[in-house]
Amino acid sequence: MQGIINRLVSWFRRRFPRRTPPPPFTKSAENPIIAPESRNGWEAWQTFNPGAIFLGDKVHFLYRAIGGDGMSRFGYAASRDGLTVDERLPYPVYEHRMTGRAWSVFSFASGGSWGGSEDPRIVRIGDEDVLYVTYTACDGGLRMGLTSIGIDDFLHRRWRWRRPVLLSPPGQVHKNWVLFPEKIRGKYALLHSINPHVSIHYLDTLEFPCDACLTSTYQRAFRGSSWDSWIRGVGAPPIKTPRGWLLFYHAIDERDPGKYKVGALLLDLEDPERILYRAEQPVLEPNERYENDGFKPGIVYVSGAVVKDDTLLIYYGGADSYVCVASAPLDAFLDELVRASKPSLKRRMMTLVKR
């Protein structure tokens, strides 16, 4: 009898494994790694929401900065170990030149500036000798901007940015669009929404003769009583792993309003509009002083992520005021994400169809 019970218990545990969140990220004891600098007027108020890329044995950052004139610009910093900043330039390296009305209440609400460029995401696509940067441009609304720079110019601090293109229509509010770091089925892939589903534009080129004005399907849809009941948008550009595209996103729990928390998804490598796994609990929450003492308390906003020495490093803005970093072993994080997540129904149905 006891043997039957043991077999039943073993079957039940395999069939219904206990779901726990992936291993928590370890927040650096050195946080924040970038803070406002009063000697530099352009970044005296806030420094936050960094884009990051691992290139030439360094992690390079473009971070959003706001100073006394209320404009949002990008600063540059770099780190050899990914955890402490070794280099930081005293001047801004990118500023969006507005083509429409600069002042915007939407911009102030989204981070505290009255105009400029917000929340850069950096990506290199394949082996191209170019870095692409998507960002939010305060230009006829909060629109999505795209610019680029040659890798050699970037590494040698020659800030020869290509003329920006506005990807989204005027008069609309759009944020959190990211490029995949390689082509999907021979095309550039621009992820522009994950609410109510993953939506991607597939493009033959990123060389637009004028503004592209792509349409996004973002909706303010809610996911019942889950912790991510209101999904806001994508965090860092996707990271390719053997298990799928690893994607972080920002969400709000209606039971814990006023806080941004971070979730994780794994998307299918060949069809990234398919969600394979979703973490059932947030992987990053605002529970440190530097995440709750700033312009917007209770905010953790991941906008950069790299893999260095088999370690996953995520870079985020704390309280819309500081740049911070957290880390986790990549393989252990992925193993637990897959083990503890419930595969999507869509994936199961497609598997049955294939059979």
Could you give the domains of the chain? Answer: 32-354 (2.115.10.20)
What tokens does 171 get? 């008069």
Mean pLDDT, to the nearest integer, of 163-168?
94
Between 224 and 57, the more confident residue is: 57
Question: Does pLDDT of 171 surpass 90?
Answer: no
Question: Does pLDDT of 349 surpass 50?
Answer: no
Q: What is the pLDDT of residues 82-127, one digit of tens each?
A: 999 999 999 999 999 876 555 566 666 667 688 899 999 999 999 9
pLDDT of residue 142: 87
Sheet strands (E) in 187-308: 188-193, 199-203, 230-234, 239-241, 244-252, 261-267, 275-278, 300-308
Question: Does pLDDT of 15 surpass 60?
Answer: no
Q: What percent of the chain has pLDDT above 70?
A: 84
Reduced to 3 states (helix: H, G, I; strand: E, B; else coil), residue 8 is helix
* Contact predicate 113/66, CB 8 Å: yes
pLDDT of residue 100: 57
pLDDT of residue 12: 41
pLDDT of residue 4: 54
Torsion over CA: 44, 42, 303, 220 (sign): positive
pLDDT of residue 258: 85
* Contact predicate 72/64, CB 8 Å: yes
pLDDT band at 190 (very low <50, low <70, confident <90, very high): very high
pLDDT of residue 354: 30
Cα angle: 245, vertex 23, 260; to 5 degrees: 75
Q: What is the pLDDT of residues 297-322, one digit of tens each?
A: 999 999 999 999 999 999 999 999 99
Distances (CA, A) of 256 to 20, 177, 225, 229, 267: 20, 26, 11, 10, 27
Distance CA 277, CA 273 (A): 12
pLDDT of residue 105: 64
Q: Helix-strand-coil percent breakdown of the chain, rounded to 5?
A: 15, 35, 50
Q: Phi and psi (nearest 5°) for 346?
A: -60, -40
Distances (CA, A) of 218 to 133, 156, 157: 21, 38, 36
What pTM, to 2 d.p., does this model score? 0.88
Q: What is the pLDDT of residues 231-240, one digit of tens each?
A: 889 999 999 9
Q: What is the pLDDT of residues 20-45, one digit of tens each?
A: 455 569 999 999 999 999 999 999 99
Return the DSSP state at 321.
T
Question: Does pLDDT of 296 surpass 50?
Answer: yes
> Across all residues in the chain, what is the average pLDDT?
87
Cα angle: 212, vertex 216, 220; to 5 degrees: 155
pLDDT of residue 355: 25
What tokens does 118 get? 């917000």
pLDDT of residue 19: 47
